[in-house]
Every structure is written in structure tokens, then in C-alpha cells.
A and B are shown apart, each in its own frame.
Chain A
Amino acid sequence: MFYREAGQFKSSYQADQAIFPIIQDRWFMAIVFVVAYLVIPLIADEYWFQAVLIPFYVFAIAAIGLNILTGYCGQVSLGSGAFMAVGAYATFKLVTGFPELNIIIAFLLSGLFAAAVGMIFGLPSLRIKGFYLAVATLAAQFFILWVFNKVAWFFNYNPSGFITAPPREVFGFLVSGPEAAPVTRYYVSLIFLTIFAFAAKNMARGHLGRAWMAIRDMDVAAEIIGIRPLHTKLLAFGISSFFCGVAGALYIFVWLGSAETEAFDLLNVSFPVLFMIIIGGLGSVLGSILGAGFITILPIFLTNAPPMVGIAISADFAKHLEEIIFGVMIIFFLIVEPAGFNRLWQIAKEKIRKWPFPY
């Protein structure tokens, strides 16, 4: 009744190709923005910022990045943690080497470093395909983290091996370092997420996205109709790693504050990010964000739910129980909706369109 395109006539190509062509969608997005930018900062407390919202946004950026590579271009990668680490360590070197450099610029520059590294490790994708490639990207994961662990120059010869976010200001607001206010850091991650999500959405529906999807669906056929595989695949690796690199920089400088390579481990980062895009929906920007939310919030919920309803269990038992529930929920979700949240969202829209007379 309320959500339908009837009566909305387009009189120009520009209007027809708008990113949200229906007015209800635009209203919905406006509400989402008002909630994210105005309402949440007013009502959320420090725990929510630090434990839920900031990691949610940071991982959403990484998930969008991986979704470009895996969802749109079809190259399964298990190395996203390593590319995030490249972003984080590059930022660390930049902000400590050039203290007067604006940290936002440092984030973007380190994204470029990550893109370069990603493209190098993307080269084998021309010959190696499918799961062989997935396992081969693990080489990047382990090798890069080993380098960051071994070469002391990367963590400025800090004896503990940690990299720590130094205090840096942008427009008079402290955005990184231990003194930075959670709300400022929240805004930084949110603004990055907004820009990156729109950029990804536009890339995906443009010429580049179509080339990626052609490669994903059948790379030989794509080659025959004139899409250059080298060019397209490497661009996917580069752009994906750029997103991951910036996300990795935010991960350390806006969220954690200090970390070592352990934080970018396969089990801590690469697998969860892959979960996010599968649960959210392959080949969908919205899906990446929803999946990131789900995977970030689920463990927190599982940890806090039993005490809330008054069941006292030992920490060790709770941890293992959490693992089981997490695993079961993943399998359950894959069985119920293998195409992810994005598909659920589309079904919901279809339902609303016909509501209340679904025939």
C-alpha cells in the first residue's frame, strides 16, 4: 500500500538511473541517516560505541571490500586480515614518521599501500581458480603477518611488538589515541562507512561492476566478449584491498587503539569477514553491512544473554557453548537462506509492496 512505484514517473535518464529511484527508498535512507548520525550518538553510551557500533562499522567497510572481490568478482579470498594489517601498519608508519600529516590522509594513503600489496597477491588469480585460489590467498595471510611480526621497523622497534595509535586531531577533534572521545571515533567510522558504501554501490552498478560480474559468472566467456581478465581481476583485488586497508587502519586507530599482528589473525578477522559477506549476501553492499552487524553483535549477545535471564554458568563452559551456538546458527542460517540477509530484505520489500492484499 505504502511501498510501491506506481505513479512515480521519470522524465529524465538521470532520474531513472538514480541510486534510489523510488521515493519511499529515499525516505527510508533519510531515516536511516538521521538515526545513525543524530539519534544513536544521543542515546548510546560508551559501552555501545566501543563494543558494538564502532566495530560494526569498521567490519562493515572490510566486508564491503571483501564482497567486491568475492561477491562481485567471484575470487574467494581468505587473506582479508592480511590486507587490513597492511593498512594498519602503513598508517602507523605514516603517522609516526610524519606527525603533522592529517590522519585521514594517512588512512587513505595506507589504503593505497594495501591496494598495491593486494594486487601483487592477486596476480596468481589469473591462473589459479576456485578453492585453490582461496588456499593460495592464505599464503598472503600468513606471509604478511609474519613479515609484520618479524621486521621490527614496522612497529618502530617497540619491544612489546605492539603498534599504538598516537593522539591525532582532525579539525580540532581528537580522533585517535587513548584520549579520543568515543562519539568522535563513532562519527569517523560512520562517515568512512557512508562514503565507502556509496562508492561501492556506484562501482558495482557501473561499467566496472558489470565487468566483475561477467568475470564471476564465467571468466572465459567474459574474456571472449572483450573484458580483460588481468585488468578486471587486478582492479577487483586492488579496490577490495583498498577498502580492507582503510578498514584495518580504522580497526587499530579508531577502535582498538593498540594491537599486534595477532589482531589480524585468520580466525579473528579473515574468517569472520567472510562469514559477514556470506550471511549478508554475496554481491550486495547492503548485505555486507547487515552481515557485519549480525556477526559483530551475535557473540556479544551470546555472552550477555545467559546472565541476563539468570543462568549462571562458568566462563569456560560459556565460551564453548557460545562456539557451538555460533556454529549451529551459521549452519541454520545457511540452510534457511543461503542467499543471505540481502535476499530476506528483497523478499520483505516484495511483501510490503503487495501488503495488505497479497494476491
Chain B
Amino acid sequence: MEVLNTFFVAPFLDMGSDLIFLTEVIIGGMMAGIMYSLVALGFVLIYKASGVFNYAQGAMVLFAALTLVGLMERHVPLVLAIILTMGVMIGLAFLIERYMLRKLVNQAQIILFMAAIGLNFVFEGAGQIAWGSNVKKLDVGIPDKSFEFGGILLNSFDLFAACTAAILVAILALFFQKTPTGRALRAVADDHQAALAVGIPLNTIWVIVWSVAGFVALVAGIMWGGKAGVQFSLVLIALKALPVLILGGFESVPGAIIGGLLIGIFEKISEVYWGPAFGGAIEGWFAYMAALIFLMFRPQGLFGEKIIERV
């Protein structure tokens, strides 16, 4: 009975007793979730267009943030530094396509996954050799203040991150829906061979997709770096994005956003209300467990394509 009480009754009573605090927890969770979504978005874009489960996305975030900070330390103005970093990411996308993807066409997905992990090592090493491995402060002029709104404590940086994510998603949606390149991207995501047959250059598309993923990584890098400092542990946020991915579905951009929000809220609530009962430090696995249990009922995630098996 004692156990039942601590796990199933007490947390809900806590929630009900202080609704404002609960709202704060939920909003905090959504803010954290948006940050996860930013990383998950990069995964989804690349998976859709090139079928690579890009484990290196986390390292790309680190690399982009390191490049940006390194440039700013050399007194390059912010806007120019962002443009230069973007140039570097596009250059890398070009190299990756030329020397990795093109040679690995038609390989099994697990081989591509392994290659992405290899890429992860390269990015980690290269970023730290080029820009040093100590923790750096990234200050892009976003105010980091807390204020009260309707009795609820909010953080301006988090709000800014949420708005950025919303704008980013809107831009991506416009890009995918309205531009010819976007249409080509969707065609490739739908069916490689059919896209090739109607004359869409696959190689160019891959460069574009990896560049877009590089751009998303840069935005994520600015947000995460601004919040927690640019350091090696940024690589590990890839692991935070994985449960978001499987919950939302690998192929779905809205899935990445909604999945991120859900995981963020879930993680915060479990940490605040169930954390003490478990003895703390549960954020490492709780999201995975939640996603796993969810998948038992819906194996393709929230918005993933329905898995149809033919013999």
C-alpha cells in the first residue's frame, strides 16, 4: 500500500494541490521540449530525404555552435559569423554528399547508420581541434530574464527559443510546400527511384537537405549554446532527441515538434512529481521508457507512416 501510495496517489495529489505550480512545470517542460524538437527536426529532414538515420546531428549542433563561437571570439560581428558558419555547414554538406552518401547509395540502412556514427566522431574531433575543447560562452544578445505573467513565472530566453522554433518550422513548411526545390525534396522523400525517373537530381537534393539540416543544427546550436554554454556535452543532446523521434515518427516534421513537446512535458512532470519516489536522476531513461510503452500501442509513432508489410 505504501508503494502504491508513493507512485500512484501522492504525485496526483501534489499536482492537484498547486495548479499554478503545475502550469509552470508544464510550460517549463514545453520549453525544454522545443529544444529537443530543434534537434529532432534535423534528424527527420535527413531521414526523410536520404534514408540516413543521422546520429551525427548532435555533433553537427556542436560543430556549428563551436564554429560560431570561434568566429565571434575573433571579433567577427554576429550576423557575419552566422552567415560564415552557414557557409561552413553548406560546405560540409557538399563534402558529405560527395565523399560519403554518393558512395553508399543502395546500402542497407544499418550501414548508413554506422557511417553516420563514424561521421559523428569526425565532427566531434574536427570541431574541437579547430576551436578548442574548453567550455565557451555564447552570447548572441538574447535576454535571459525571468518575469511573471498572470502569476506564472516565465523565462524570456525560453520564450525566445520557442518563437524561434515556431518561425523555423514555419519557414521549413513554406520551403517544403511552396518552392520548386521543396517539391523536389518531397518527391525524393516519397520515392527515390520515381524522383530520379522524373529527372530530379538526387545528388543536388542531398546537398540541399544536409545543408538545411546544417542550418537547423546551427539554430539548435545557438539556442542550446546560449542556454548551457558551448561544450562537448552538446553532442549528447542527440540522445535526448531520439525518444522524441520514435514518439513522433521518423518521417514526420510535425511529429518532431509535437513529440518534443510531449516528451518535454512528460519528462518535467515525471522529474518533479515522481523523481523523489524513484530516487532521482530518472531523466536519462524515463523518456525512452515512455516512448517504448507508447510504441507498443502504435509501432510507427504518432505521425509516422503506417508500416505496411508485403510478402
Contacts and interface: CB of A to CB of B under 8 A. Distances in A.
Contact of B121 (A132, A218, A327): A327
13 contacts: A127-B299, A131-B250, A134-B113, A136-B246, A143-B289, A275-B117, A320-B125, A322-B125, A324-B126, A327-B118, A331-B122, A334-B115, A338-B108
- 7 A-B pairs with least C-beta separation: A327-B121, A323-B125, A330-B118, A142-B285, A139-B288, A324-B125, A327-B122
B301 interface: yes
A135 B301 CA distance: 12
Interface string B253-296: 00000000000000000000000001101101100110110011
Main secondary structure of the interface of A (DSSP, over half): helix
Interface in A223-270: 224, 266
Interface string B95-133: 000001001100111110111011111111110110001
Nearest to B123: A327
B244 to A, nearest CB: 10
B54 to A, nearest CB: 11
A316 interface: yes
B100 A335 contact: yes
B242 interface: yes
Interface string A149-165: 11000000000000000
B103 A138 contact: no
B309 interface: yes
A135 B129 contact: no
Given A274-B114, A331-B118, A324 B129 contact: yes
A128 B107 CA distance: 22
B129 A76 contact: no
B181 interface: no
A282 B311 CA distance: 23
Nearest to A151: B279
B292 A124 contact: yes
Contacts, number: 133
A221 B125 contact: no
Contacts of A282: 110
Given A138-B242, A278-B111, A146 B285 contact: yes
Main secondary structure of the interface of B (DSSP, over half): helix
A136 B291 contact: yes
A105 interface: no
B125 A124 contact: no
A142 B109 contact: no
Contacts of B118: 326-331, 334
Interface in B291-311: 291-292, 295-296, 299-301, 307, 309-311
B311 A224 contact: yes
Given A127-B295, A275-B114, A138 B281 contact: no
Interface of A: 70, 76, 124, 127-132, 134-136, 138-139, 142-143, 146, 149-150, 218-221, 224, 266, 271, 274-275, 278, 282, 316-317, 320-324, 326-331, 334-335, 338
B36 interface: no
A124 B288 CA distance: 13
A219 B299 CA distance: 16
B285 A324 contact: no
A275 B299 CA distance: 26
B288 A138 contact: yes
B125 A321 contact: yes
A218 B118 CA distance: 28
Contacts of B239: 138, 266
A12 to B, nearest CB: 38
A176 B104 CA distance: 45
A320 B111 CA distance: 24
B125 to A, nearest CB: 3
B210 interface: no
Given A274-B114, A334-B111, A324 B289 contact: no
B36 to A, nearest CB: 14
Contacts of B307: 129
Contacts of A328: 118, 122
Given A278-B114, A320-B129, A135 B285 contact: no
